Amino acid sequence: MMNRREVIKNVALMLGGAFSAPTLMAMDNWENATKPNGSVTAFSLSETQQKIVAEIAELIIPKTDTVGAKDVGVPAFIEMMLKDCYKTPEHQSFLEGLASMEKVKFLELNTDERRGVLKLLEQETKKMTGKTPPFWRLIKELTLLGYFTSEAGLKASFEYVQIPGKLELIKLKPNQKAYAY
């Protein structure tokens, strides 16, 4: 499924990231910034909630032959991002999601059962039409962001090129990893 916001963002970056890209105003920020009362409340997680977040993040990006979400500090990253970059509606949505995880005693389930819960959650999330991103969407997005931009996660996943020095049209080799810059 196309992540339209991402497409627009990619083009925005092509256009140099800052001014002049027509598509650039992608786009959530604009809406957030112009909301009259985007209230911000304090946000923090209890120890149990932190554990649930860590376990879900690790199920999304598990340790395999490469590092997993927990190894690179994704759980703490998620909490920091929610606190610093999200507002009350997202905080509530996230906490509600955690409450339902507590209700199904997520931490007491075995790995297969946990996976089952997340699959169900994923299907339920698709039916939601509200404006505020649901819990699954938030935790998945922040897990991927935290992992794939962490030093160990990025270097393990992609071919990291800090300074390309040239621009070249190339043919992809079999199994070639994506470049990250």
Restricting to residues 89-108, name those near another protein by CB under 8 A.
none
Closest CB to another protein among residues 104, 144: 144
Euclidean distance between CA atoms 79 and 52, whole angstroms: 12
The yes or no reply on residue 124 touching another protein (CB under 8 A) is no
The yes or no reply on residue 176 touching another protein (CB under 8 A) is yes
Among the listed ranges 9-17, 47-55, 95-103, the one in contact with another protein (CB under 8 A) is: 9-17
Altogether, the residues listed in the chain come to a count of 181
Q: Are 146 and 56 in contact (CB under 8 A)?
A: no
For 40, phi then psi, to 5°, come to -120, 125
In one-letter notation, the amino acid at residue 1 is M
- Nearest CA among 49, 60, 72 for reference residue 153: 72
Which residues within the stretch 20-49 sit at the binding site for another protein (CB under 8 A)?
Answer: 20-27, 29-30, 32-34, 38, 40
Mask: binding to another protein, 51-90, rule CB under 8 A, as x and -?
--------xxxx-x-x--------------x--xxxx---
